[in-house]
């Protein structure tokens, strides 16, 4: 009897290779499924013509007929069960235990997501598995295809620091990482000299015993302290050297010009303010540190120097943050100016009494 049933199933399975004839459904009379005890599988019959009733099997019942290709199944394992290919019976569905990624370090979490996708059969074309450090965070250097980039511990790319994968052996991204950490700390006053690949720049200057400030390429001495550079005299340079060698968190680190004097803008805590060359504060000018990149204090510095020298004739019109206004007046005439207070070439001039008519 069992042999007969098995052969019958094979015969039925062989019919799967026979294509459905045209208008097959027009010749087929479908049985009613209104009283189905189970699940109605719409268009699940031969050639997709009829709805069929799917009997819900319980744990331990035979379910092998669902594997016979081409034979419309009339039963299926019930909810929470699946058909085991080993036993041919319905067994409880085993849900793979997955790691709790919410408490994982960012790089380990990403590796787990990739592995889970691989197990689920998702296409992983173009996906690069990250390199993690000993703490499970992203390693500073990550490579994608033929390019290696610098990233923070969360895996976010750091500015435009990158290099060809052929340079991977000498790439460490330490300068890019240190720069990012310093910026996120809210501290100001230190320059980081990084190569395009995120490494620290190397110096070929003759070594000296004293630690000194390295002049920035822009002409400012915002300076990280390195050895082997020429000593810069000046009140700001001395304070800068003292602050950075102290290593104390929260110590004020000044911004210095190429002569070792204080730049017009200084920032400390949550505030930026304007100062003279000797570092004394010019009262009346300040801005939140969040606006630091837009604050120059050049107008406040020029106005203070002009008054100190006893000169007359020029009226310095400054913003509350110490920057130049969009217009300036000389004598009885006013004109439009750039951010440095210089007259914009070709701009019109108006009498100081008609300043409201000047469109800058």
pLDDT of 115:
82
Lowest mean pLDDT among 21-25, 41-45, 133-137: 21-25
d(CA 360, CA 354): 13
Instruction: Give the gyration radius of the chain's Cα atoms.
Output: 38
The separation between CA 161 and the C-alpha centre of its own chain, rounded to angstroms, equals 13
pLDDT at 224 over 50: no
Residue 243 pairs in a beta bridge with none
Q: What is the pTM of this model?
A: 0.38
Say if strands 52-57 and 75-77 run parallel, antiparallel, or are unpaired.
parallel
pLDDT-based confidence at residue 11 (cuts at 50, 70, 90): very low
In eight-state DSSP terms, residue 21 is P
pLDDT of 89:
87
pLDDT tens sequence across 309-319: 877 667 888 99
- For the segment 178-194, the average pLDDT, to the nearest whole number, is 81
- For the segment 205-209, the average pLDDT, to the nearest whole number, is 31
Q: Which residues contact 314 (CB under 8 A, 6 or more apart)?
A: 306, 328, 329, 330
Q: Kindly list the distances between the CA atom of residue 309 and the CA atoms of 289, 299, 301, 304, 312, in Å, as whole numbers in the listed order.
A: 31, 15, 12, 9, 9
pLDDT-based confidence at residue 100 (cuts at 50, 70, 90): low
Q: ∠51-55-59 over CA atoms, to 5°?
A: 150
Assign residue 260 a region (left: φ > 0; alpha: ψ between -120 and 50; beta: otherwise).
left
Strands (E) in 5-80, as ranges, are 39-41, 52-57, 75-77
pLDDT of 275:
95
Find the length of the chain: 360
Dihedrals φ, ψ of 148, to 5°? -110, 140
């Amino acid at each position: 009897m069992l042999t007969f049933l098995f052969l019958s199933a094979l015969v039925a399975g062989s019919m799967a290779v026979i294509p459905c004839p045209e208008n097959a459904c027009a010749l087929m009379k479908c049985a009613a499924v209104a009283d189905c005890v189970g699940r109605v599988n719409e268009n699940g019959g031969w050639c997709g013509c009829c709805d069929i009733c799917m009997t819900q099997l319980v744990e331990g019942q035979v379910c092998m007929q669902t594997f016979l290709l081409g034979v419309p199944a009339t039963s299926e394992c019930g909810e929470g069960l699946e058909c085991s290919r080993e036993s041919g019976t319905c067994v409880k569905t085993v849900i793979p235990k997955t790691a709790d990624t919410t408490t994982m370090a960012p790089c380990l979490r990403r590796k787990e997501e990739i592995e889970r996708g691989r197990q689920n059969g998702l296409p992983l074309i173009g996906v690069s598995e990250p390199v993690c450090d000993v703490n499970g965070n992203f390693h500073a250097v990550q490579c994608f295809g033929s390019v290696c980039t610098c990233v923070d511990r969360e895996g976010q790319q750091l500015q435009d620091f990158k290099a060809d994968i052929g340079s991977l052996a000498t790439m460490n991204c330490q300068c890019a990482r240190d720069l990012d950490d310093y910026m996120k700390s809210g501290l100001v006053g230190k320059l980081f000299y990084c190569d395009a690949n995120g490494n620290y720049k190397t110096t070929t200057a003759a070594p000296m015993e004293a630690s000194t400030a390295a002049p920035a390429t822009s002409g400012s001495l915002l300076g990280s302290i390195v050895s082997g550079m020429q000593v810069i005299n000046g009140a700001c340079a001395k304070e800068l050297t003292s602050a950075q060698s102290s290593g104390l968190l929260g110590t004020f680190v000044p911004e210095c010009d190429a002569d070792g004097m204080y730049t017009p803008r200084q920032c400390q805590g949550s505030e930026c303010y304007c100062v003279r060359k000797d570092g004394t504060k010019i009262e009346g000018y300040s801005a939140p540190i969040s606006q630091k990149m837009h604050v120059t204090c050049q107008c406040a510095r020029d106005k203070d120097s002009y008054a100190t020298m006893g000169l007359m004739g020029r009226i310095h019109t400054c913003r509350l943050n110490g920057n130049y206004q969009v217009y300036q007046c000389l004598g009885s005439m006013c004109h439009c100016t750039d951010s440095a207070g210089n007259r914009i070439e070709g701009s019109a001039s108006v009498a100081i009494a008609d300043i409201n008519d000047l469109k800058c």
